[in-house]
Amino acid sequence: MEKFVDLSVAILSLIEEDDTPAEEDFTAEFYESNKMKLEVKNRLATINERLTSIHQPVLPPSPSPEVIPPVANLPLHQSSSVQARLPKLEVRKFLGNIKEWQEFWDSFESVIHKNKALADVDKFSYLRGLLVGPA
């Protein structure tokens, strides 16, 4: 039984020695993780640069010259930390064509109605200024 216990102790000590990682392993793993972190940071910086340089129009160009320009100077909702330089928004007037109502309302709601910086009376004034023709 003594021999069996001695062999078990010897086997366990050998197993523990084999499972213990060497200091070189830790150094190599640490180096690789720092290298990967640096690569990720560089790629994120590149993505942020590209996002800030994109210019996309929000609304199609207005076919009529009747546009209310003061809307372009109002603060817009920002939902992300990346700020792109976008062209000024123009809300086209609604001339009474029911087929154009949804497009008009979507742009009006986005730019004016949901703008918390505007008072209700100002929103109403913009709406009245943008509606032309019969109800």
**Would you write out the chain's pLDDT as a tens digit for each of its 135 residues?**
888 888 888 888 777 765 556 666 667 777 788 888 888 888 888 887 777 766 544 444 544 444 554 554 555 555 556 677 777 778 889 888 889 889 999 999 988 899 898 899 998 998 998 998 876
Do 43 and 15 share a structural domain?
Answer: yes
Instruction: Please report where in the chains the tokens 């086209």 appear, as a residue.
Output: 92
Q: What is the pTM of this model?
A: 0.37
Do 40 and 9 share a structural domain?
Answer: yes
Domain presence at residue 9:
yes
pLDDT digits (tens, 9 = 90+) for 84-114: 777 777 888 988 888 988 999 999 998 889 9
In which element (H, E) is residue 27 found?
A: helix 23-52
Whether the CB-CB separation of 86 and 56 falls below 8 Å is answered with: yes
Domain total of the chain: 2
pLDDT at residue number 68? 52
Domain presence at residue 62:
no
List Cβ neighbours of 56 (8 Å cut-off, separation of 6 or more): 84, 86
Domain extent, residue 124, equals 69-130
